[in-house]
């Protein structure tokens, strides 16, 4: 797996700066972007069954990858404007999940793995 | 910035495996997760202005970071089940954006930076 | 079925006016509200199968009804601020769907019933 | 305002039945539809300010109306499959809001009008 989020962040920062887009990227607007692109991922899964969702046709899978890229870019942008390290945030969240769902209690139960609000 | 998404992926994989949760994590369900958590980010920005959204109160900012972590975890999980490298996907998307919005045309215009579909 | 949306609209208008909330209800913010509450509906369906989703436990069903009410209220509020008649909008959309998906072509095919854009 | 949701429901039911689409309309899938279309409404508001969102260009306003229609159709469909009367659900919700946000406390405060969960 490509590993360096830092490099991606730099490339995104450059793109935004070159186009003078920072003025539009208030956290409020970027948060909307994350949600809008997340819905575009979902669109590809609306009518298939859970089983079918594992084996998307090649072209559809490429479109999903494209939307996944969008979500990650908005997430990075949002992290940037709020000064939130998104990997650290996810790591902290994992720790919370481990605590809330100890293995012996959560094993094999259809429970949300990220429902800690 | 914490840089290694690969490490995070490993930690997530372990958590899912220890709890025997893979059975619930069909791409369809994980895609819903991305969208649900994205909405939880947005909730914190619904009533503030764009300007106010830059300076969240400390506690609110921590909650947003928490939800950002959720989205990234679901995104990673989705990438895993679909065999999509999410960083590579974002990189490909950046290239598409550069093409669709050349600097000379896009500079200073309130246009979506991720609207390529 | 309760039929009068007009009555509901009046009750909503009164509630908003009495609380002096119109100042916060820009279409942008109400649109976010529709999406946020829509995600809260979805949350109840994330981990169940399509089949299971038909027979929610009674309490969960009440919670879903509650979120459905939220979405309808935001939708009405949004229609109000934009001067859009939401029933007329849905009727127009139905006509478009009938056109785009003629019975002889669409019958029994897993296609979106509202995918016209 | 067009008032009869019952008529719209009948027209929707006929459309679904004629195309034999009920088989795809599990509540889980319809809930995804509500969220997907809600995001499409939002898309039109992502880059404008709250003030600008009141006065959309005519064409954009028509597109928003179109997406509002989509959300209402999915909401009606979801209500149908779950046997939830969506107007009654909204009415119940209004009562809850009145209780949770009494006028004397809520007046002029930027608070969510539908945040009761």
Distance from CA of D45 to the nearest CA of C (A): 5
pLDDT of the residue at C113: 41
pLDDT reading at C96 higher than 60: yes
pLDDT of the residue at D37: 98
Of D12, A93, D108, B62, the closest CA to residue C95 belongs to D12
Q: Any residues with CB less than 8 A from the CB of A61 and at least 6 apart, and which? A: B82, B84
Instruction: Sort C111 into a burial class: Cβ within 10 Å, 0-12 / 13-18 / 19+.
Output: middle
Would you list the DSSP string of A21-85? -GGG--HHHHHHHHHHHHHHHHHTTSSS-TTGGGS--HHHHHHHHHHHHHHHHHHHHHHHHHT--
Task: Find out whether C111 and D15 touch, Cβ atoms under 8 Å.
Answer: no
Taking CB atoms and an 8 Å cutoff, what residues of chain D touch C13?
none
The predicted model gives D37-52 an average pLDDT of 97
pLDDT reading at D84 higher than 70: yes
pLDDT reading at A88 higher than 90: yes
Q: How does residue C2 score in pLDDT terms, banded at 50, 70 and 90?
A: low
SS (H, E, C) B93-113: HHHHHHHHCCHHHHCCCCCCC
Taking CB atoms and an 8 Å cutoff, what residues of chain D touch C114?
33, 37, 70, 73-74
Could you report the per-residue pLDDT of B19-56, keeping only the tens digit for each?
999 999 999 999 999 999 999 999 999 999 999 999 99
Tokens of A51: 């089983």
Could you report the per-residue pLDDT of B3-22, keeping only the tens digit for each?
689 999 999 999 999 999 99
What is the Cα–Cα distance from B19 to B87, expressed in whole angstroms?
A: 26
Average pLDDT, chain B: 91
Inter-chain contacts counted by CB atoms under 8 A, chains A and B: 273
pLDDT reading at D98 higher than 90: yes
Q: How does residue C102 score in pLDDT terms, banded at 50, 70 and 90?
A: very high
The predicted model gives C41-56 an average pLDDT of 96
pLDDT of the residue at A12: 96
Tokens of D104: 């004397």
ipTM: 0.92
Instruction: Sort B49 into a burial class: Cβ within 10 Å, 0-12 / 13-18 / 19+.
Output: middle
Q: Any residues with CB less than 8 A from the CB of A10 and at least 6 apart, and which? A: none
Q: Rounded to 5 degrees, what are φ and ψ at A4?
A: -90, 105
Tokens of B16: 């899912």
Could you report the per-residue pLDDT of B53-103, keeping only the tens digit for each?
999 999 999 999 999 999 999 999 999 999 999 999 999 999 999 999 999
Inter-chain contacts counted by CB atoms under 8 A, chains C and D: 273
The predicted model gives D8-15 an average pLDDT of 95
Burial D24-33 (b: 16+ CB within 10 A, else e): bbbbbbbbbb
Task: Find out whether D38 and C34 touch, Cβ atoms under 8 Å.
Answer: yes
DSSP C101: S
Taking CB atoms and an 8 Å cutoff, what residues of chain C touch A110?
47-48
Most confident of C3-12, C73-82, C97-106: C73-82
pLDDT reading at A10 higher than 50: yes
Average pLDDT, chain D: 91
Q: How does residue D108 score in pLDDT terms, banded at 50, 70 and 90?
A: confident
Subunit contact A110:C32, Cβ cutoff 8 A: no
Task: Find out whether A67 and A40 touch, Cβ atoms under 8 Å.
Answer: yes
Provide the 10 A C-beta neighbour count for residue D22.
13
Subunit contact D2:C53, Cβ cutoff 8 A: no
Q: How does residue B108 score in pLDDT terms, banded at 50, 70 and 90?
A: confident
For A110, name the nearest residue in chain C, comparing CA atoms only.
Answer: C47
pLDDT reading at A56 higher than 70: yes
pLDDT reading at B114 higher than 60: no
What is the Cα–Cα distance from D114 to D117, expressed in whole angstroms?
A: 8
pLDDT reading at C19 higher than 80: yes
Task: Find out whether A8 and B91 touch, Cβ atoms under 8 Å.
Answer: yes
- D27-43 and A27-43 helices cross at what angle (nearest 10)? 140
Q: How does residue B2 score in pLDDT terms, banded at 50, 70 and 90?
A: low
What is the Cα–Cα distance from A60 to B117, expressed in whole angstroms?
A: 12
How many residues are given for chain D? 117
pTM: 0.93
What is the Cα–Cα distance from C19 to D102, expressed in whole angstroms?
A: 8
């Amino acid at each position: 797996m490509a590993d360096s989020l830092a490099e991606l962040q730099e490339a995104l920062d450059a793109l935004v700066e070159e186009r003078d887009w920072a003025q539009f990227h208030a956290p409020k607007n970027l948060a909307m972007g994350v949600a809008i692109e997340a819905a575009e991922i979902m669109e590809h899964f609306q009518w298939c069954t859970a089983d079918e969702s594992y084996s998307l046709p090649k072209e559809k899978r490429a479109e999903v990858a494209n939307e996944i890229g969008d979500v990650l870019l908005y997430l990075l942008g949002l992290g940037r404007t709020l000064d939130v390290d998104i990997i650290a945030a996810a790591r902290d969240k994992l720790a919370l999940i481990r605590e809330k769902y100890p293995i012996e209690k959560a094993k094999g139960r259809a429970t949300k793995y990220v429902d800690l609000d």
